[in-house]
Every structure is written in C-alpha cells, then in structure tokens.
Amino acid sequence: MLELDYASSAGVSEMLMDQQEMRNSSPLYRRSGIPLYHQIQQRLLDQIQSGVFKPSEPIPSIQKIATRMGVSQMTVRQAVKSLCELGVIYSKQGKGTFISRIKLERDFRQVLSFSEETRARGATPHSRLISFRIQMPSRETREALALNHKEKIFRLRRVRYADSLPMGIECSCLPVNLCPDLLETFDPEGSLYQKLAEQYRIHLTVTNEVIEVGKASDEEARLMQIAPQSPVFLFTRLSFLESGKPVEHVKSVYRGDRYKIVNRLVRTKRDLLSSPLVI
C-alpha cells in the first residue's frame, strides 16, 4: 500500500514525503550509493549513543523500525545483525533487542600498520631506517611466504618511534616480484602499508600473529634505549591478501615497558563451533 510512495519519492517528490513520513528522524538517502542497511546502522548507533533508547528497555522492534523508516525487515535486520556482531546490542528471541553496556575500547586491534596503530592511539609515528635491501630469505621466511628456492625478498628493518620515543624494531620481508621497484620508490620513513595500497593496490586483509615474550639483546636494547635483558614483546606476523597469498612476513621486538596489547575476545556461537571447526 505504501510502496508506491517510496518509489515516487526516490524519483520525484522527496521533500513532501520526507516531512510526513520521517517526522522524527532525518530521511534515508536512497540514491546516495551508501547502502540503506549501512545508513540504518549508523542511525541506530547515533540514537544509542545519544541516549534516545533507554539501556534497560528494548530498542524498537525490527518490524517497527522497518515500517517507520519505510524499508523492508530484511534491510533492518542486516543493520541490527551487524551491530550485534560488534557487541553494541544483542537480540533475544521473543523478547527484543537490547543495548549492551560492554565497554568498547578505542584500540581493539585490527590489521593495522604501526603508523595507523600509533595514530589511532593519538601519537605521531616515525621511523628510522636500519637497513633496506634485496636478499635471499631465511628458511622461516621462505616457508611462510611460500617462495620457491630462487626467489628473493625485500628486507626492511626499522626502529619505530611514537612521538619520538623508540617503541620497537620491525623487520619486514616481502617477495621482490610483488613490487619490483620498491627499493627505488619507497621512502623508508613512511608507511609501508600505505605505499603498498596506493602504488600496487595490495591490500592486506588478514594477519596471523604469534606473540611471545623474551629479553632484549644488547643490540636491541641499544636501539630501543632500554636496559639489556629487559622483558620485551616478540611478534611474528604473516599478512595475507584476500586470496590467501602471503605477502608480508614480519618479526618485531617491542618494548615491554611502553607497549601493551588490547584485545577483544568473542565467544563464537554455533556457526562453526558445532562441527569441523577448522579446515
């Protein structure tokens, strides 16, 4: 009964429609290229944030949101589901959808370069080059990057600073054939991830990471300006393209006194836990 109105509103008479139907919230933009479910998600986030909904009561039902916003239930559900996955809200069958008061910390970890991560923490990243050259990979790196026996790698070793304080030492290895002219065109003070994305369209989407603790060697201690034998984080990371191709193998040492890791762990539901779990 109302769908013709929506259709025409997209084409002809927006303002009329918006005023009468969307009286208590701004309208959705149907031709903006931004998916409706994403707009709805943002809208809900705003409303939760600004306290429109009481934490003790359920937020409006999916049906109500759908009719009020003039979209279908599926679309609203998509928005609600993604917010559930973020832990912002949670749904209980037969009861409703509620606001979760789980504290969201700012810096839960994603695949982030040191530069991005440092900026996200409100500091200014900066690097000092130790070495940058083409060489044969170590056996560990060769296996991690699935290289054949002849293939060479870039090896980039840098001291990383946040606000001019040394934080750690990163040693990053990439296959040469992926970005052959990196040695000439990359400024080792800058962000490697940014360079890879901009010049080569290489987007690292997944990282496997192993974290261990250890003691700083004399050289590491000197570079990081800490006492030898100080406890440090040891990171071993392997980053992949979406296709699963391993692209970057990194071994890092980070100061134990200045660095901490903030994780959010989520208990997976039935979706894969019920059976094989791992392929």
Partner DNA sequence: ATAATCTAGTGGTATAGATGACTGATAGCT
Partner DNA sequence: AGCTATCAGTCATCTATACCACTAGATTAT
Cα(48)–Cα(57) distance, integer angstroms: 12
Residue whose CB is less far from DNA, 66 or 173? 66
Cα(60)–Cα(44) distance, integer angstroms: 10
Site for DNA contains 61 (CB under 7 A): yes
Site for DNA contains 23 (CB under 7 A): no
Of 249, 179, 242, the closest CA to residue 205 belongs to 242
What tokens were used for 15?
């303002």
Taking residue 1's Cβ as centre, other Cβ atoms within 10 Å add up to 4
Q: Answer for the pair 254, 232: CB distance below 8 angstroms, yes or no.
A: yes
Residue 263 binds which of a second copy, DNA, none (CB < 5-8 A, kind-dependent): a second copy
Residue 62 binds which of a second copy, DNA, none (CB < 5-8 A, kind-dependent): DNA
**Maximum separation of any 2 CA atoms in the chain, in Å:** 76
Residue whose CB is less far from DNA, 34 or 129? 34
Positions that interact with a second copy (CB under 8 A): 38, 41-42, 45-46, 48-49, 74, 82, 86-88, 90, 98-106, 109-112, 203-215, 231-233, 238, 240, 242-245, 256, 260-268, 270-272, 275-279
Q: How far is the CB of 129 from a second copy (least distance, A)?
A: 25
DSSP 273: H
**Three-state DSSP class for 254?**
strand
Residue whose CB is less far from a second copy, 9 or 239? 239
DSSP 1: -
What tokens were used for 177?
């054939």
Cα(45)–Cα(83) distance, integer angstroms: 8
Of 86, 70, 61, the closest CA to residue 28 belongs to 70
Site for DNA contains 62 (CB under 7 A): yes
Run of H or E residues at 124: none
Site for DNA contains 64 (CB under 7 A): yes
Q: How far is the CB of 132 from a second copy (least distance, A)?
A: 25
Of 36-44, 155-163, 184-192, 206-214: span binding DNA (CB under 7 A): 36-44
Site for DNA contains 37 (CB under 7 A): yes
Q: How far is the CB of 101 from a second copy (least distance, A)?
A: 3
Residue 42 binds which of DNA, a second copy, none (CB < 5-8 A, kind-dependent): a second copy
Interface positions with DNA (CB under 7 A): 1-3, 6, 33, 35-38, 58-59, 61-64, 70-75, 77-78, 80-81, 91-97
